[in-house]
Amino acid sequence: MAILVYTEHWDGQFKKSTFELVSYASKLAEMADAQTVALSIGQVDEDNLRQLADYGADKIITVNQANLKYLDNQAYTSVIQQVADQEGADIMVLAHNNTGKALAPRLSARMQAALGSEVNQLPAELDPFVVNKKVFSGKAFANVKLKTDKKVLTLAQNSFGIYENTQEPIIENFEPTLSDEQIKTQVTDVEKHRDKLLLTDAELVVSGGRGMKSPENWDKLNDLANELGAALACSRPVSDEGWRPHEEHTGQTGKIIAPDLYIAAGISGAIQHIAGVSAAKYIVAINNDPDAPIFEMADYGIVGDAMQVLPELTEALRKARS
Amino acid sequence: MKILVCISNVPDTTTKVRFTNDNTQLDTNGIQWVINPWDELALTRALQLKEDKNNSVESVTVIHVGGKESEPTIRKALAIGADDAIRVNAEPTDAYFVASQLAEVIQQHDFDIIFAGIESSDYNGAAVGGMLSEMLGMPSISAVSSFELENDQVRIIREIDGGKETMTSQLPLVVVAQKGIAIEPRIANMRGIMMARKKPLNVVEPAEKDSMVDFVDFELPQAKPPCKMVDPENVQELVDLLQNEAKVI
């Protein structure tokens, strides 16, 4: 019996979210008295691969095949299934990011394995296998029973934590059966946001809403973000107005994030916005309307003009850190 | 070229959710039902493609798995411009069941492009589009934020962590759409609403399919402790709280 965890990498590097995922898989393996097998597709050097064993991977399987350079959902699903079959894996674990959302449902249908999507904790026991997940865009949680022997889980980002559990791993290469004809999608161009802290990875996020009044005022948010080492986000009206790129839109139809700290300036806190940030561990609200709904969600609040408060906050942080 | 858009019927996003029967069922009293926001964006894009005469899109069909009570939502999709609709007459129990029902019907047609929203705003499973593509043995592209047709070839942009990829694909294809595929969902006008009444809404009986998960029960999030207010003249206090109480910086 094994737990198979699909570990995505970015140009050969893993992220903290990968280690969180492996930590989760290895705790699950402990419950099931099973091996934790990590699968990595593409070129990753051995030192980086060994990092997976620091969080509990007993075995690391690598797949290097030229036709797997880019994510093709059908091909990757087939590879994961082939490895799962070889390893006798009953539970497959993926991240609840764009890649995991693309592959997990395919894998579920392919392997007749119930899908527990965006789970936020371990199941209390293995039988019945009940997982907890957010529903109604964060307005409630559901306990979901997975009824089949095999299972696929996607883990909500920043929901579990990272736990060291160093193993001496076996590293093996796997040759999947996969012809070029089976690959039906092609990537023709890649555009990367280089050197930019990714909103969904960020532990600290500084966000602005319509209360920021104009795009020129974003330098005040930017200064604070730079001081904190935070990523920038915004509310929907701001991205719809074109003040900020839509990648920064945080909310129900935008990005769903779970940082340690979310600072919302000039954001009233519409229910759709809250849906995107309710998993933040701490929320700070800065708004000149004391009745803004954001204060019901916030841990700390300042009623005041964001244009004045933001520079003062940046300055206070600078002093506190020097 | 024929386009199909899968639509889900969900509570309006401003709904305050409540549960009944020992927290095992959604309390549907007073809920306004709408087309799932991502499905609505995908439908909007499909209609734009059909209207652009440079393309050869013959028809845009919508499909939905649900009881008769979901017909107003389907009629809304027809009112904003879909040509016809299919309703699979079954209570949707989980994503696998819904995808199985959709696959069963789709196999009897020849759609070139099938759109599904990346998730639904009720159970947030992010599953139906992917499952459906696997059942149909079709390629799928997920997190699609731009979709163009040129001489019946697709040009797609998908969002990846930290960037974007431009893609092409063989058809038929399942396109799993996210925000960006269309900016604003289309709103029905009076003429559209009148016309929708006459458009075909075909009801098909479900195939025998199982679900793979059960929703055991629901819980509401714990109430947050009240917000600690900080004097705007003393932002230093906020820094202290973040450093020493929350310990997040």
Inter-chain touch A144–B215, beta carbons under 8 Å: yes
Q: From first to last of the 249 residues of chain B, give the pLDDT tens digit.
A: 999 999 999 999 889 999 999 999 999 999 999 999 999 999 999 999 999 988 999 999 999 999 999 999 999 999 999 999 999 999 999 999 999 999 999 999 999 999 999 999 999 999 999 999 999 999 999 999 999 999 889 999 999 988 999 999 999 999 999 989 998 899 999 999 999 999 999 999 999 999 999 999 999 998 889 999 999 999 999 999 999 999 999
What does each C-alpha distance from A21 to A14, A198, B13, B126 come to in angstroms?
Answer: 11, 18, 30, 18
- Give the pairing type, strands B9-11 and B84-88: unpaired
Residue of B165, B213, B221 with shortest CB distance to A144: B213
Inter-chain touch B248–A140, beta carbons under 8 Å: no
Inter-chain touch A140–B170, beta carbons under 8 Å: no
Q: Torsion angle of alpha carbons A165, A166, A170, A171, nearest 10°?
A: 90
pLDDT of A71: 97
Report ipTM for this prediction.
Answer: 0.95
Inter-chain touch A303–B130, beta carbons under 8 Å: no
Inter-chain touch B248–A300, beta carbons under 8 Å: no
- Structural domains present in chain A: 2-182 (3.40.50.620), 204-321 (3.40.50.1220)
The answer to whether the bond into A128 is cis (omega within 30° of 0) is yes
Report the candidate in B159, B64, B176 with the shortest Cα–Cα distance to residue B118: B176
Name the B residues in 67-86 with CB < 8 Å from any A CB: none
Contacts with A309 from chain B: Cβ below 8 Å: 232, 235
Looking at the predicted structure, is the pLDDT value of residue A194 above 90? no
Is residue A138 within 8 A of residue A118, CB to CB? The reply is: no
Note the Cα A221 to chain centre separation in Å: 24
Residue of A103, A154, A299 with shortest CB distance to B228: A299
Comparison of pLDDT for A56 and A201, the residue scoring more: A56
Contacts with B32 from chain A: Cβ below 8 Å: none
Give the 3-state secondary structure of chain A. Answer: CEEEEECCCECCECCHHHHHHHHHHHHHHHHHCCEEEEEEECCCCHHHHHHHHHCCCCEEEEECCHHHCCCCHHHHHHHHHHHHHHHCEEEEEEECCHHHHHHHHHHHHHHCCEEEEEECCCCCCCCCEEEEEEEHHHCEEEEEEECCCCEEEEECCCCCCCCCCCCCCEEEECCCCCCHHHCCEEEEEEEECCCCCCCCCCCEEEEECHHHCCHHHHHHHHHHHHHHCCEEEECHHHHHCCCCCHHHEECCCCECCCCCEEEEECCCCCHHHHHHHCCCCEEEEEECCCCCCHHHHCCEEEECCHHHHHHHHHHHHHHHHC
**Residue B212, min C-alpha distance to chain A (Å):** 5
Inter-chain touch B126–A118, beta carbons under 8 Å: yes
**Residue B87, min C-alpha distance to chain A (Å):** 22
Residue of B130, B168, B218 with shortest CB distance to A141: B218
**Residue A267, min C-alpha distance to chain B (Å):** 15
Inter-chain touch B121–A137, beta carbons under 8 Å: yes
Is residue A251 within 8 A of residue A210, CB to CB? The reply is: no
- Which tens digits make up the pLDDT trace of A277-287? 999 999 999 99
B16, B25, B101, B213: best to mutate for the A interface, most A CBs within 10 A: B213
pLDDT of A31: 97
**Residue A168, min C-alpha distance to chain B (Å):** 30
* CA–CA gap between residue B141 and residue B233 (Å, rounded): 51
Contacts with A103 from chain B: Cβ below 8 Å: 130
* CA–CA gap between residue B153 and residue B167 (Å, rounded): 11
* Interface contacts A/B by beta carbons within 8 Å: 277
* CA–CA gap between residue B17 and residue B224 (Å, rounded): 17
Average confidence score pLDDT of chain A: 96
**Residue B112, min C-alpha distance to chain A (Å):** 14
Mean pLDDT of A50-55: 98
pLDDT of A246: 87
- Which tens digits make up the pLDDT trace of A57-77? 999 999 999 999 999 999 999
- Structural domains present in chain B: 2-220 (3.40.50.620)
